Amino acid sequence: MHTFIDTHAHLYLSQFDEDGDAVVDSALQQDVKKILLPNIDNSTVRQMLDMEEKYEGVCYAMMGLHPCSVDANYRDQLKMMEEWLEKRQFLAVGEIGTDLFWDKTFKDEQEACFRAQVGWARERGLPVVIHSRETLDWNISIIEEEQDGALKGIFHCFNGTVEQAERITGMGFYMGLGGVVTFKNSGMSEIVPHIDPNYCVLETDAPYLTPVPHRGKRNESSYIPLVAKRVAEYWNMTVEQVADITTENAVRVFGPDIMP
């Protein structure tokens, strides 16, 4: 039995209000046995925790402040995130990082927020899940500075170069591969064959970044095998081998609790 883990999905968002149960059932039928839920900000915590409770043993919550939610009042939100981390156990600190795609106004605040949350992860022995839109080099440099041998985690939605991949794996970090690997013009066909399978995990980022042939529609966890199929072609492996390797890698990052 070859099972998959979706290491990054926002299935608690309103896009799934109508059919959330069916989406989880569909994922399970496609052998996606575990779905990891990164937080966005204070407004999403309740829905995320409700989902984790409803699908105990399938869905696992993380806690963190997404860079797109960082503004002048980021300290207030950060305080709430840290209070949650003190209240109960979470799988990881995430989704954290930086994003200069839409707006560069709070660049300094994003970095301060990122470093603070990396510090929490180090203190608690938790992995980090890193968002790096238009900022991959910057985030790699920050983690290179912060890495003291205790940090581990995933550069979510990896779409960088082979050189960036080598810097990531050189720090003992992993890369999340999702729907972008199926996009014809993403350039990933030149990159994925040359990155180390032992440092990759699968993800959807549902409801975003839907893989071909569903591109343009809502993404969901049941599409993980589509990502695995394309990755298998790049690595000259079977889909089953990709499932095994990426599942082992996910367990290495997040711990035995998520073992399918």
Per-residue pLDDT at 95 exceeds 90: yes
> In this structure, what token pair is assigned to residue 152?
């581990």
- Cα 113 to Cα 32: distance, rounded to the nearest angstrom: 32
Report pLDDT digits (tens) over 126-140.
999 999 999 999 999
Per-residue pLDDT at 3 exceeds 90: yes
Report pLDDT digits (tens) over 9-29.
999 999 999 999 999 999 999
Q: How far is CA 245 from CA 61, 74, 145, 248, in A?
A: 23, 38, 29, 5
Note the maximum CA span of the chain: 49
Instruction: Kindly report the number of other CB atoms within 10 A of residue 173's CB atom.
Output: 23
Report pLDDT digits (tens) over 47-92.
999 999 999 999 999 999 999 999 999 999 999 999 999 999 999 9
Q: How far is CA 251 from CA 5, 10, 169, 174, in A?
A: 9, 20, 16, 12
Write down the pLDDT at residue 102: 87
Cβ-contact 162, 195 below 8 angstroms: yes
Per-residue pLDDT at 1 exceeds 80: no
Per-residue pLDDT at 232 exceeds 90: yes
Write down the pLDDT at residue 107: 97
Average pLDDT, the chain: 97
CATH architecture group of domain 4-258: Alpha-Beta Barrel (3.20)
Write down the pLDDT at residue 202: 98
